[in-house]
Amino acid sequence: MDITEVISITKPQSSSQYNNIDESNDDSDIEMGESSAGGASAGIVTPGELITEDPIWMKGHGTYFLNDSTYSSVAGSVSRVNRLLSVIPLRGRYSPETGDHIVGRITEVANKRWKVDIGTRQDAVLMLGSVNLPGGILRRKSESDELQMRNFLKEGDLLNCEVQTIFSNGIASLHTRSLKYGKLRNGIFLKVPSSLIVKSKNHAYDLPGSVSVILGSNGYIWLHKTLANTSTTTTVNQNAAKIQGRDYAPGQGSISITRLEEESSWEIYSDQNDPNITSSTRSNISRYYNVIKALAYGELGITEQRVILGYEASLAYSNIGSLIDRESMEQICQEVLNSEKMRG
Of residues 70 through 129, those in contact with another protein by CB under 8 A are: 71, 73-77, 89-93, 105, 107, 117, 121-123
Footprint (CB under 8 A) of another protein, residues 17-76? 21-22, 25-26, 28-29, 32-33, 35-36, 40, 43-44, 46-48, 62, 64, 71, 73-76
Asked if residue 343 binds another protein (CB under 8 A), the reply is no
Footprint (CB under 8 A) of another protein, residues 310-339? 319-321, 323-326, 337
* C-beta closer to another protein: residue 4 or 264: 4
* C-beta closer to another protein: residue 185 or 242: 185
Residue 41's SS3 state is: coil
- Count interface residues toward another protein (CB under 8 A): 86
Footprint (CB under 8 A) of another protein, residues 190-219? 195
Residue 67's SS3 state is: coil
Candidate ranges 127-135, 155-163, 232-240, 259-267; the one touching another protein (CB under 8 A): 155-163
Footprint (CB under 8 A) of another protein, residues 239-278? 271-273, 277
Rounded-to-integer distance, Cα 238 and Cα 167, Å: 40
Can you tell me which of 58, 188, 204, 268 binds another protein, judged by CB under 8 A? 188
Footprint (CB under 8 A) of another protein, residues 289-308? 289-290, 293, 297, 299-301
* C-beta closer to another protein: residue 112 or 326: 326
- Residues with Cβ within 8 Å of 73's Cβ and at least 6 positions away in sequence, in order, are 47, 62, 63, 64, 87
**Do 290 and 327 touch, CB atoms closer than 8 A?**
no
Distances (CA, A) of 204 to 126, 212, 335: 21, 7, 24
Residue 325 Cβ, how far from another protein at the closest point, in Å?
5
Burial 31-48 (b: 16+ CB within 10 A, else e): eebeeeeeebeeebbeee
Residue 200 Cβ, how far from another protein at the closest point, in Å?
17
Rounded-to-integer distance, Cα 118 and Cα 172, Å: 9
* C-beta closer to another protein: residue 132 or 290: 290
DSSP annotation of 196 reads G
Rounded-to-integer distance, Cα 178 and Cα 153, Å: 16
Q: How many CA atoms lie within 13 A of 202 on its CB side?
A: 8
Residue 288 Cβ, how far from another protein at the closest point, in Å?
10
